Chain A
Amino acid sequence: DSGVTQTPKHLITATGQRVTLRCSPRSGDLSVYWYQQSLDQGLQFLIQYYNGEERAKGNILERFSAQQFPDLHSELNLSSLELGDSALYFCASSRTSGRDYSYNEQFFGPGTRLTVL
């Protein structure tokens, strides 16, 4: 158990819908990262938040957005869902932001499996 929690574990929805994925980081971790793992693309970085502020952006679509709340939990919102959005979505957390380019080990949550029908 990494200490990172994600809900829900599974989500089945239809095209065009909107869903929210939730992540609670390990106690004491200020950074939260979101990743998407699809069959054809592998794991890809979406976005990072540090202490409530967006820190880095990766291959995140405009239909997707995220935020980190004062209690440090984070939500990833996916809207206008398409079949191709079906994937495993992982959240990870780490102690620091990496602003000094150092890497703090990231600990991954169990993931949310999203199926868009």
Chain B
Amino acid sequence: KNEVEQSPQNLTAQEGEFITINCSYSVGISALHWLQQHPGGGIVSLFMLSSGKKKHGRLIATINIQEKHSSLHITASHPRDSAVYICAVYGIIQGAQKLVFGQGTRLTINP
């Protein structure tokens, strides 16, 4: 079983829709990181969270430590938001202090 599970694995929506991507984890963590990977492969850091909620432009990330769950929301989605979104948790996992990644959510926004 993966320590980090994301849902959905694939998501297709129309421009303007409100998008939610979920991340659940099963280990104790000190932080959670949301990343965006573009079709060309580059990885961009979106948010780093240890509690509560953060907002940047049209992106909002929340985390519930007790429920071991985080969500990434995109408001007024746009085709340029099409990418793979990856949740990663940081903690002592399998005996090493490291980032462990979810499998990613592939988001496609159609015009």
A and B: real partners? yes
Q: How many residues of B contact A (CB 8 A)?
A: 25
A90 contacts B100, C-beta separation under 8 Å: no
Q: Interface extent on A, as a size class?
A: 20 to 34
Closest beta carbon of chain B to A102's beta carbon, Å? 6
B97 contacts A105, C-beta separation under 8 Å: no
Secondary structure type dominating chain A contacts: strand
A 42-83 to B, binary, CB cutoff 8 A, 1 in contact else 0: 111100100000001110000000000000000000000000
A106 contacts B99, C-beta separation under 8 Å: yes
Q: Give the most central of B30, B48, B97: most A CB within 10 Å.
A: B97
The reply on A98 being an interface residue by CB < 8 A is yes
Binding site for B on A (CB under 8 A): 2, 33, 35, 42-45, 48, 56-58, 88, 90, 98, 101-103, 105-108, 110-111, 113
10 CB < 8 A contacts A-B: A2-B45, A42-B101, A43-B88, A48-B98, A56-B97, A58-B98, A102-B31, A106-B45, A107-B45, A108-B35
